[in-house]
Amino acid sequence: MRQLNFFIFLLFPVLMSSHVYGQTDPAKIYLLVRADDMGFAHAVNEACIATYTEGIARSVEVIVPGPWFEEAAQMLAGHPGYDVGIHLVLTSEWQNLKWRPLTSATSLKDADGYFHPYIWKNPFPGGYFPA
């Protein structure tokens, strides 16, 4: 069942894109691309800006407590036409790159002051998927 769901997840965008490519009116917008996780890393910031300047992405979400948020804000200031949203952050699931709440939110922090890796107990300890 899991493989079928994964297959459908991958197949749906392909089917939708084949419909979009068959359209002939270039003035109509058929697909909106949103960049995600700006503020997460320097490379992500550069990639998000590149997708905008190359006409691929029209909007982006920024992780405010991310370690590269200030750079992201500076980069976005130079692109006022880019639609920017805030990425709600309640977890910090990456093992080697963590972020903390911007305010004192003791129920959201672990012993080191970072967001917990998951909102609920991970059913697959040691990874995202069972082996």
The model's confidence at residue 5, banded by pLDDT at 50, 70 and 90, is: low
Q: Dig out the tokens for 64 from the structure.
A: 């405010």
pTM of the model: 0.68
User: In the predicted model, what is the mean pLDDT of residues 70-95?
Assistant: 94
Query: What is the torsional sign of CA 94, 99, 104, 110?
Result: positive
- Give the span between the Cα atoms of 1 and 7, in whole angstroms: 10
In the chain, where are the structural domains located? Answer: 25-89, 91-124
Query: Do 98 and 114 touch, CB atoms closer than 8 A?
Result: yes
C-beta neighbour count of 111 within 10 angstroms? 5
- On the question of pLDDT at 18 being above 60, the answer is no
Assess whether pLDDT exceeds 80 at residue 85. yes
Mean pLDDT of 97-121: 88
Q: What is the pLDDT of residue 2?
A: 55
